[in-house]
Structure 1
């Protein structure tokens, strides 16, 4: 396993501030409209800070990324595990059309970023 360079508090704060808005809880799918601007703002932030770091995410997650339906795993991730997982999800979007959009719609990305905020609060 490759160790990533520790994230600075400033980077974590920026990434949390630029988190895409949560998917609205509309009963009818026709009432929902995805606004990509929040996702683009988030991606610009992660790519233009030290958040995105090179590592072989495909080898690291050779058994596949954790299920996006099991949110209980997120609560037990360390900062480095969460960092790697977020990078892997962002990289996977290059190969799977609308992958990150689906993570936003499902609330999974919000849950990951909420965990990041919790870990940030615990930093000295």
Structure 2
């Protein structure tokens, strides 16, 4: 079983075109000087006392903001996504879901939405 760090590295290597484009826009504190991490694990203690890890596409600790680039696969895992969002919100995080199409077709609008959540 791969470690969570190895899994995150693998996810970063297999990024989608939309994730790659958004990362280029977010990296190096390009958006309102906020630092974003990609494929960064967030650990949650389950009711059974075990560590559960959620790996958001992008995470800004300073703003407590999780950004998810949603592709077609998310149409089939809606229940999982809803549960995951609920757990992350309970940690005080805000979740912003953006479709891959939005990212690839209209990056200025996407960045304005992100800025609205940061400021």
TM class, shorter-length: under 0.3
Which protein is richer in strand relative to its size?
2
Which protein is richer in helix relative to its size?
1
Structure with more relative contact order (C-alpha pairs < 8 Å, separation 6 or more): 1
Tell me the TM-score normalised to structure 1 length: 0.25
Tell me the TM-score normalised to structure 2 length: 0.26
